[in-house]
């Protein structure tokens, strides 16, 4: 995950192939610009990812990737 320090937008980090560099992917959510990001991932009937961050209203939020889509 990448947090843009100017906009506060969290982006997915993608690596298209093993020989290509990491690139900024989908914009996921807006966080407070000083937010720390925690990510946990596992495989269970597809990839599962959880992203935890603090939003601009100071609430702790969870963003989920379940079976090929972000929610």
Q: What pLDDT, in 10s, does the model give residues 7-60?
A: 999 999 998 899 999 999 999 999 998 899 999 999 988 889 999 999 999 999
**Residue 69: helix, strand or coil by DSSP?**
coil
According to the model, what pLDDT value does residue 43 have? 92
Model confidence at 68, pLDDT cuts 50, 70, 90, reads confident
According to the model, what pLDDT value does residue 67 have? 78
Give dist(CA 71, CA 28) in Å, integer: 9
pTM across the whole model: 0.83
According to the model, what pLDDT value does residue 60 have? 97
According to the model, what pLDDT value does residue 5 have? 87
Give dist(CA 62, CA 12) in Å, integer: 14
């Amino acid at each position: 995950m990448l947090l843009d320090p100017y906009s506060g937008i969290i982006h997915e980090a993608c690596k298209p192939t093993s020989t290509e560099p990491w690139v900024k992917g989908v914009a996921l959510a807006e966080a407070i610009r000083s937010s720390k990001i925690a990510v946990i991932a596992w495989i269970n009937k597809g990839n599962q990812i959880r992203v935890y961050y603090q939003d601009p209203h100071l609430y702790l939020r969870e963003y989920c990737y379940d079976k090929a889509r972000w929610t």
